[in-house]
């Protein structure tokens, strides 16, 4: 059973994910439901090795999930994390207008990337790292970005951390009790993806593939893309333009 969320906030570290990895390997990992939050990070990372912006005033934190027998695939915790960020951002904004999800785990605000999510498996534990642009967003050459401050909402890091930890605990419990299919339904309901909508996807090797959205695999959340010849391609790692 997931314990009540608790927070440990540090002024600065290299990476909250790296700190939890080290704790796991040293045999002193925090329990599920505990969060390590940094006010600044000097070596934060996103998916596919990307650097994650470490601006002061933004949320940067990590937690651990201990997979249980009968749980959905650990990689599908990325959907749990995205839904939790969406919930916490909506609470900070006091509305959901402008918020949307994009496969595989992006949270968008007015079309700009609001957060970064990174999962790492270490000794049968999943470390979930999350960064959210609260006060300001980075300028990136290849994508739009956004911050809650763009809408006048700039929650304190501690306030947002409590909201996110509670939302993650609730979404995690739902993922366990109701299964991945329900989590995917919740994700799609808040997403930009409509059946048959045109998509351009860069697969795990960076190759662009064009087609139409054909849904998500119920077993693991992989993206199904219908190609021009009518065939389908299943993509388990990549980015959607």
Give tens-digit pLDDT for 180-196.
Answer: 999 999 999 999 999 99
198-240 under CATH 2.30.30, yes or no:
yes
Dist. CA 191–CA 83, nearest whole Å: 10
Closest to 137 measured CA to CA, from 81, 60, 58: 58
Q: Looking at the structure, give the CATH architecture of the domain made up of residues 6-189.
A: 2-Layer Sandwich (3.30)
- Taking the mean position of all CA atoms in its chain, how far away is CA 70? 22
Model pTM? Answer: 0.92
Cβ(203)–Cβ(210) under 8 Å? Answer: no
- Is the pLDDT reported for residue 48 higher than 90? no
Check residue 135 and give its pLDDT.
Answer: 94
pLDDT band (50, 70, 90) for residue 43: low
Portions of the chain given CATH number 2.30.30:
198-240
User: DSSP assignment of 165-186, as one string?
Assistant: HHHHHHHHHHHHHH-HHHHHHH
Q: Check whether 45 has a pLDDT greater than 80.
A: no
> What is the Cβ-side half-sphere exposure of residue 152, based on CA atoms within 13 angstroms?
2
Give the residue-averaged pLDDT of 207-226: 95
Residue 56: predicted pLDDT: 80
Residues in the chain: 241
| pLDDT value of position 218 | 94
Query: At 127, is the pLDDT very low, low, confident or very high (cuts 50, 70, 90)?
Result: very high
- Cβ burial, residue 141 (10 Å; 0-12/13-18/19+): exposed
Per-state percent for the chain, helix, strand, coil, to nearest 5: 30, 35, 40
Q: Which of 102, 195, 186, 110 is nearest to 144 (CA)?
A: 110
Residue with tokens 């960064």: 131
pLDDT category, 75, cuts 50, 70, 90?
Answer: very high
Average per-residue pLDDT for the chain = 91
| Nearest-angstrom CA–CA distance, 192 and 173 | 25
Q: State how far the alpha carbon of 76 is from the alpha carbons of 80, 120, 194, 226, 228, in Å.
A: 7, 12, 20, 22, 28
What is the pLDDT at residue 1?
A: 45
Q: Comparing C-alpha atoms, which of 222, 194, 225 is closest to residue 212?
A: 225
pLDDT of residue 205: 76
Residues 129-169 pLDDT 10s? 999 999 999 888 778 999 999 998 789 999 999 999 999 99
CA 231 distance to own-chain centroid: 30
Helix H or strand E encompassing 77: helix 77-93
The pLDDT confidence band at residue 54, using thresholds 50, 70 and 90, is low
């Amino acid at each position: 059973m997931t314990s009540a969320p608790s927070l440990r906030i540090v002024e600065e570290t290299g990476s909250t994910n790296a700190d939890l990895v080290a704790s796991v390997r040293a045999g002193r990992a925090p329990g599920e439901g505990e969060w390590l939050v940094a006010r600044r990070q000097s070596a934060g990372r996103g998916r596919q090795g990307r650097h994650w912006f470490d601006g002061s005033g933004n949320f940067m934190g990590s937690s651990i999930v201990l997979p249980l027998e009968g749980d959905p695939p650990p990689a599908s915790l990325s959907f749990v994390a995205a839904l939790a960020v969406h919930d916490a951002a909506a609470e900070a904004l006091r509305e959901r207008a402008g918020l949307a999800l994009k496969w595989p785990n992006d949270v968008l605000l007015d079309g700009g990337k609001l957060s970064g999510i990174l999962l790492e498996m270490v000794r049968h534990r999943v470390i979930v790292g999350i960064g959210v642009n609260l006060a300001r967003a980075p300028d990136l050459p290849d994508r739009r970005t956004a911050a809650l401050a763009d809408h006048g909402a700039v929650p304190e890091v501690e306030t947002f951390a409590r909201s996110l930890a509670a939302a993650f605990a609730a979404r995690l419990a739902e993922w366990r009790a109701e299964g991945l299919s329900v989590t995917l339904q919740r994700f799609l309901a808040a997403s930009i993806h409509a059946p048959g909508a045109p998509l351009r996807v860069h697969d795990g090797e960076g190759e662009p593939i064009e087609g139409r959205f054909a849904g998500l695999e119920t077993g693991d959340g992989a993206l199904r893309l219908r190609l021009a010849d009518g065939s389908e391609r299943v993509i388990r790692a990549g980015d959607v333009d």
